Amino acid sequence: MKKFVSAIVVILILCSNQLNISAAKNGQLDLKSKGAVLLDSDTGAVLFAKNADKKMYPASLTKIATAIYAIDKGNLDSVVTVSANAVRQDGTRVYLNEGEKITLKQLIQGMLVNSGNDAAVAIAEHLDGSVEQFSVHLNTYLNTTIGVHHTHFINPNGLFDKNHYTTAMDLGIITNYAMKNPVFAEIFGTKVLKWKGQSWKTNILTHHRMLKGELAYPGVTGGKTGYTVKAKQTLATTAANPKIRLTAVVLNSEQPRDKYDDTAVLFDYGFKNFQHATLMQGESYTTDNKQYFPEKNTLITESVKGSTRVINNQGILSIKNTNNGQVIQLVSLKYKEPVPEKVVDIKETSTEKKEQEQTMTYVNAIYGVIIIALAGIIVGVRKKFVRKL
């Protein structure tokens, strides 16, 4: 009986560590999360979206934005002095001490890998003097540098506030931008972080169960978890195979496992259905007798089952799924200016013709004078010759 019970326990444990993957039905994905987006990490093509532009609470996914802002704007080797305000933060921490001195890079690592709320506030105060001023600068950075317009953050860590919100789409765009930075990408993909602080020395494991390997999924390259009572479960994850790199964001999941299962569904869909191709610089697309072309070789996302390319009269090229007509990506092309034809000015032509005629008359007159002179000379010479005879 004990052996039987043990076998059941082992089976349950194994099952709990397997991702529940649901297939797409009629082109739709059965997701439990209320908001989700799947993007091509390189081209930004939107491969799947569910309530992608609806305002939601991000929880600790906020720290993705804080991290890339700090990497872009700060000196990673600069030394931060931890304030009492940072130490007092609620939730997950890296147990900083007031007055502790620590590098900006280590704080970013502790914030992303262990989701340290104290580290996030220490970063904000170091960069901009206060959390309030940091939030102003962060929102400007997100709007002008990254180009998201439905996000408003009032703190660096994602602790709940009704005025602290974003969307799945904005978070996907922010994550794509951040992943292009090698420092961020390295930290985002860290599974084990050796932490040495004044009060805490340990090996910190990432909270992301797919990245850690507890819920194994091939090709996962990075991730960040989030949770508050109001935001519920949130997750941002990146993954890659030889054909394509993907970014998945899911928001507002009820159960902790839901966000992982949904992410696996998204990645399965993306890897199965999409791949990269290249628009070559020499290609030309014509509409309404206008020609458009890529200014350089341009990476695009297309369906593995085939795609069509349709240009409109504004020079926007739509990459469409051949099977269902879904627009996978839009690419702006450059208008090819036609070679201007030489316009003949009638007045100018008439004037030129008149000038040419006058010139010819003048030349002919000169030739006439020369011929007459030569004739006179010949006649004179002949008379002299006759007299001598």
pLDDT for res 12: 37
List, in sequence order, every residue forming a beta bridge with 291; answer none if it has no partner: 286
Place 8 in a pLDDT band, splitting at 50, 70 and 90.
Answer: very low
Q: Write out the catalytic residue numbers.
A: 60, 63, 115
Global pTM value: 0.82
SS (H, E, C) 73-111: HCCCCCEEECCHHHHCCCCCCCCCCCCCEEEHHHHHHHH
- pLDDT category at 360 given cuts 50, 70, 90 is low
Q: How many CA atoms lie within 13 A of 86 on its CB side?
A: 28
Distances (CA, A) of 367 to 345, 356, 359, 370, 378: 32, 16, 12, 5, 16
Higher pLDDT, 313 or 258: 258
Domains of the chain: 30-273 (3.40.710.10), 280-335 (no CATH)
Most confident of 143-147, 369-373, 385-389: 143-147
Here the tokens at position 143 are 């709007």
pLDDT value at 17 more than 70: no
Q: What is the pLDDT of residues 195-247, one digit of tens each?
A: 999 999 999 999 999 999 999 999 999 999 999 999 999 999 999 999 999 99
Task: Give the pLDDT band (50/70/90) at residue 338.
Answer: confident
